[in-house]
Amino acid sequence: MKRNKVTRQIELKETIKSMPFITDEELAKKFGVSIQTIRLDRMELSIPELRERIKSVATHEWNETVKALPIEEVIGEVVDLELDERAISILDIRSEHVFSRNDIARGHHLFAQANSLAVAVINDELALTAKSEIYFTRQVKKGERVVAKAKVAGTDQKGRTLVEVQSYVENEQVFAGTFYMFRSNEQKELQQS
């Protein structure tokens, strides 16, 4: 069903408001128009592109929520967060992340994305990585998008919170890690017992 421009733009605005992470490609398919038409509609309506919407929503929703570090210190863009449960971030690998001779991402960037996400998911004023077990499962190249998914998996015998992080390029795992997180409330509990 073809919509006129006014109707389409009203529905587009409502769709983006309810689903801020929807892509232009998904919108084009939903409305049966070209990607260029969606981009023009967004420009006319002063709706930013996906990357800017992600930043805006993340900053607005999570600045007050993330306790262990400022949201801007998380490496990558946080796109989902439920404290003490799960979190997701996206990191686009650019020139500054790779070795210049072969365009392969430096491992410390993948580690930093995963580690900062493990810290961000902790519902505490202080969360520090006490230990980590990490595995790089394939090289990541410039231009690829790394999606890191963190999940709080319980506690170990020492009372540290375990956070499992798996990172993917498309559907292929590129990194896996378990982070043993020290929390300030664990220190308080130890002092009280």
Instruction: List, in order of start, the domains of the chain with CATH numbers.
Output: 5-47 (1.10.10.10), 54-192 (3.10.129.10)
CA 93/CA 97 separation, integer angstroms: 6
CB 180 within 8 A of CB 130: yes
What does the pLDDT read at residue 193? 43
pTM of the model as a whole: 0.66
pLDDT one-digit tens code per residue, 5-32: 889 999 998 988 877 777 888 899 999 9
What does the pLDDT read at residue 55? 59
Share the mean pLDDT of the chain.
Answer: 85
pLDDT score of 156 more than 80: yes
What does the pLDDT read at residue 115? 96
Tokens of 147: 């999606």
What does the pLDDT read at residue 33? 92
What does the pLDDT read at residue 189? 47
What one-letter code names the amino acid at 84? D
What does the pLDDT read at residue 123? 87
Three-state secondary structure call for residue 39: helix
pLDDT one-digit tens code per residue, 58-116: 554 444 456 556 666 788 888 888 889 998 899 999 999 999 999 999 999 999 999 99
Q: What percent of the chain is predicted at pLDDT more than 70?
A: 82
pLDDT score of 35 more than 50: yes
Model confidence at 49, pLDDT cuts 50, 70, 90, reads: confident
Provide the β-strand partners of residue 134. 177
CA 119/CA 69 separation, integer angstroms: 7
- Arithmetic mean of pLDDT, 126-134: 93
Three-state secondary structure call for residue 24: helix
Model confidence at 51, pLDDT cuts 50, 70, 90, reads: low
pLDDT score of 188 more than 70: no
- Of 43 and 57, which is predicted with more confidence? 43
Euclidean distance between the first and final Cα of the chain, in Å? 67
